[in-house]
Structure 1
Amino acid sequence: MKSLSFILAVLLAAPALAADPPVHKSDGMLVDAKGMTVYTFDQDKGGKSTCTGQCAENWPPVAAGSATLESPYSSITREDGTKQLTYKGKPLYTFSKDKSPGDKKGDKVKDMWHVVSD
């Protein structure tokens, strides 16, 4: 029988299972885990989100989650301390008026909000 310390050492050395990624591609655009369209905001500069308060209520930030992030994804820490997912350095959001997966009602709003496609 293996010793408890040996078993613990093996478990601690094993890589952790990665959580599901917070976004994925669908129909040529990024969507969150619920299939909702993901957007960027032109006012965000230098890897920092400028969408706070009422803006963040209308455009909820995409949470970075616990997944291991690989380029082109990373995360930033928002003013409230939460982690927000970024794509190529741009913070990501969903739009409160999108009600069903595939909705893109936020695309080109005020010519500052854009669907993330690649």
Structure 2
Amino acid sequence: MKTLPTLLTGLSLMSALWCAPAAVAQPVVKDSVLTTPAGMSLYVNDNDKTTPGKTVCYGPCLMLWTPYLAAPNAQASGDQGFITREDGQRQWTHKSMALYQWVDDKQPGDRKGDGVRSVWHLAKP
């Protein structure tokens, strides 16, 4: 039987692996929402409003929500900027809210993460 610390270490490793997507380009507006350049929907979490300039999505949260990371040389403009995650990676923001992709969105235009747990919403310009 695995102990709680062993399980937590496993979750931490899974989170670290999940949280390692390639850095990407600035978000764009498609069909009145922010998306990746490939058309995948981007989301914000209401709980991030309590910690401006930071995100609360760590640990198990990262198994469902992928941070939308910025390339090291990316330049912010307008309402878009960056936060620095605990692991040192830069994550895109919109109006200071961290941007994420939802695990169940499989094709451009999918919006299955909107309303999850009543705190995840499509990022809108």
Q: TM-score category by the smaller chain?
A: 0.7 to 0.9
Larger radius of gyration: 1
Query: Which string of whole-angstrom CA distances, capped at 9 and with x for unpartnered residues, describes residues 66-111 of structure 1?
Result: 3211121110110111100110000000101100000000001111
Aligned length: 99
Report SS of the residue matched to 1:67.
coil
Question: What is the alpha-carbon distance in structure 1 between the residues aligned to residue 42 and residue 115 of structure 2?
Answer: 12
1:103 to 105, 110, 122: 110
Instruction: Name 1:94's counterpart in structure 2.
Output: 101
Which structure 1 segments of 5+ residues have no match?
1-19
Instruction: Name 2:45's counterpart in structure 1.
Output: 41
Superposed CA RMSD: 1.4
Question: What is the alpha-carbon distance in structure 2 between the residues aligned to residue 105 and residue 60 of structure 1?
Answer: 14
Report SS of the residue matched to 1:94.
strand
- TM alignment of 1:57-96, pairs within 5 A: 57-65=63-71, 66-96=73-103
The list of structure 1 runs, each at least 4 consecutive aligned residues, that deviate by more than 3 angstroms after superposition, is none
Instruction: Name 1:6's counterpart in structure 2.
Output: none
Which structure 2 segments of 5+ residues have no match?
1-23
Post-superposition offset of 1:53: 1.8
Which structure carries more helix by proportion? 2
